[in-house]
Chain A
Amino acid sequence: MATAGSELEQVRLRIPATPEDLAALKLGSVVFLDGVVYTAREGVYKRVLEDGVALPDGLTEISNANFHCSPAASRNDDGTYNVGGVTATASFRFSKWMPQWFEKSDAKVIIGKGGMSGDDYRNVFVPRGAVYLTTVGYGTGALLGRGIKGVRDAHWIDELGIAQALWVYDVENFGPFLVDSDLEGNSLFEQQGQLVNANLERIYAGLKSPSLSRFGETDDRSEELI
């Protein structure tokens, strides 16, 4: 195999991230984070954006990095937490909440699984100076667990459960992540997907279609599914 990772640039990024640091990120670079990162996914989005509950005090001052993930974690009897690791969940499902979320949270770094659509990047991320980092694999849960140095807070566990709560982590050398989108709205997933698509006709060549089609079925294999 090609020497693993040696061709990819590696970057340390401090959170809260500055516009200058974000502007320097290149698609496909490997990023490790230092600072404070918080989790928010559908449970938090619904609570804050639809039910109108205010974000925890001070959150937006200490972090502008929102991780679409949940921890493998449990609560100890003394009220502390045992966090084994974190693994991202697919971000495309949160598309509808992102415009409002950026307004509320002033997040500049969204981290998750699989990226979001190019349209989301260009129309929603770019105007707010935000980028998207994807987790690797997926599921370097143990490596990410090593980067979590402490749980600063775990908001709304009783209301939302461990998986959907808003966790605030102190992190150090937290990664790896890959830069999927930059401040111009370019996307690594989009670019790679187009290269893969260019090859798909070849792999289906000679295979006849099934006798019964499925409703809505299309043979356009380059179609973006998210």
Chain B
Amino acid sequence: MITNSQIERAAYDVMCKAAIDIPEDYLDGIKERAAAETGPLCCFVLQSMIDNYEAATTDRRPMCADTGLPRYYVKVGNDARFDGGFVGLERALRSATARATQDVPLRPNRVHPLWRTDHDNNVGINAPEIEWSFEPDVDWIEITTVHKGGLFGTDYRMLFPADGIDGIKRFFLDTLIAFGKRGLACQPAIVGIGLGGSKDICMVLGKQAACLRAVGDRNPDPEIAKLEMELKELGNSIGMGAMGFVGSSMVVDCHIEVGFTHTGGMPMSVHCFCLSSRRATARIHADGSTELRSDPQWFTPYMRRETVEWQPQAASSNKSG
């Protein structure tokens, strides 16, 4: 039985880790972009960011003082047992958010949209967001936190099947350039794309693609994987880089997630994570022991299943037909 206090502790620990330590995969990706960058201003920006990650880790201080909107993604094993039920789990996540905000410290960013009330703890109505997924045949719980900026770099558009790959490329460029000007999107970033689903799920998938997949991870559908690489290349060919200066680095990686959608439509969302791509995951085992890591491994074969029945043996070859 996993206890409430173990859950609270794990949620607190991932908040602290995410805020301070840049994920290795993203750091490697930024170093790769820095090596390829041609613009002198962009080179200076990327080197400053690398210095900043080191300062954060050395000093144990937050890498970015804009906490964004700290939130959770929780994957619950189908055989996991935990006390307090889901209400207890949610309370533990809210408590961990408030404690981490005080201790790291995180900027208390969360306010009422109209009254601007700030509880100074990043907790409020519908905050932090908690998204859920489930995993068959395991008894652990995984808690991932993401601290992603909240103002720029995201857009949605209803495209149609006739718009095809051209339409996808245009909207991808539109979003990158619109929010890339003056660097409002804090690029180069991991860019997540949601394709399909209903409008809300399209947004959810794109955001998860940006925030919950490590640099270098490819979609299991080889054609989608190819499109990911093509869009990454396209984004880095705009002639723009960090802070909107002349350069060659907009996209550290591109991740696409799909959901079955209306037969007449092809909705698309684009989400830019940022130069402080803050994410961390804890797996809490049935005995309460906990491991921390930076790769959420959120999109399991089970999550991308296509049919009524779950057939794990088919998952490794699940090419969309």
Task: Using CB atoms and an 8 Å cutoff, list the residues of chain A in contact with chain B.
Answer: 1-5, 7-8, 28, 30, 43, 69-74, 82-87, 89-90, 92, 113-115, 134, 136-146, 160-164, 176, 178, 189, 192-193, 195-196, 199-200, 203-204, 206-212, 214, 221, 225-226
Using A72-B106, A114-B183, A210-B167 as known contacts, say yes or no to A84 and B44 having CB atoms under 8 A apart. no
A72-B67, A200-B238 known; A139-B276 Cβ under 8 A: yes
Q: Does residue B173 face the partner (Cβ distance < 8 Å to A)?
A: yes
Whether the Cβ atoms of B160 and A136 lie closer than 8 Å is no
Q: Decide: B173 and A203 in contact? CB cutoff 8 A.
A: yes
A196-B163 in contact given A4-B34, A137-B48 (Cβ < 8 Å): no
A137 to chain B: which residues have CB within 8 Å?
45, 48-49, 52, 183, 186, 242-243, 275
Given A82-B105, A142-B63, A189 contacting B244 (CB threshold 8 A): yes
| CB-based contact A203/B118 at 8 Å | no
Q: How far is the CA of A28 from the CA of B39 in the complex (A)?
A: 13
- What CA separation (Å) do A134 and B37 show in the bound complex? 21
Interface centre among B65, B67, B152, B181 (most CB of A within 10 A): B65
Identify the 8 closest CB pairs spanning chains A and B, nearest first.
Answer: A4-B47, A161-B118, A139-B64, A87-B65, A74-B105, A142-B56, A114-B182, A141-B65
B166 interfacial by beta-carbon distance below 8 Å: yes
Q: Answer whether residue B51 sits at the interface, using C-beta atoms and an 8 A cutoff.
A: yes
B84 at the interface (CB under 8 A from A): no
The residues of B that contact A225 with a CB separation of less than 8 Å are: 178, 181
Q: B180 to chain A: closest CB distance in Å?
A: 8
Q: Which of B59, B151, B184, B243 has the most CB of A within 10 A?
A: B243
**Which residues of B approach A to under 8 Å, CB–CB?**
19, 34-41, 43-49, 51-53, 55-56, 59, 61-67, 101-109, 111, 116, 118, 120, 151-152, 157-160, 162-163, 166-167, 169-171, 173, 177-178, 181-184, 186, 234, 237-240, 242-246, 274-276
- A192 partner, pick from B157, B237, B245, beta carbons under 8 A: B245
Contact check, B52 vs A210: say whether CB atoms are below 8 A apart.
no
Nearest chain-B residue to A7 (Cβ)? B40
Determine whether the beta carbon of B64 is less than 8 Å from that of A30: no
Residues of B close to A221: CB separation below 8 A: 177
Q: CB within 8 A of A210: which of B48, B66, B170? A: B170
Out of A43, A143, A203, name the residue touching B239 (CB < 8 Å): A203
- Chain A nearest CB, measured from B121 CB (Å): 9
Q: A134-B243, A210-B159, A210-B163 are in contact. Are A71 and B45 (CB under 8 A)?
A: no
B244, A30: Cβ atoms under 8 Å?
Answer: no
Determine if A70 and B178 form an interchain contact, defined as CB atoms under 8 angstroms apart.
no
A203 to B233, CA, bound (A): 11
Complex formed: what's the CA distance from A71 to B64 in Å?
9
Beta-carbon contact of B186 and A139 below 8 Å: yes
Instruction: Name 17 interchain pairs, CB-CB below 8 A, sorted by A.
Output: A4-B43, A4-B44, A5-B48, A83-B105, A85-B61, A136-B45, A143-B48, A143-B52, A144-B65, A146-B59, A164-B116, A192-B244, A200-B239, A203-B238, A207-B169, A208-B167, A212-B160
Are B44 and A192 in contact (CB-based, < 8 A)?
A: no
> Could you tell me the distance in whole angstroms from the C-beta of B261 to the nearest C-beta in chain A?
16
A87-B64 contact, Cβ under 8 Å, with A71-B107, A203-B173, A210-B167: yes
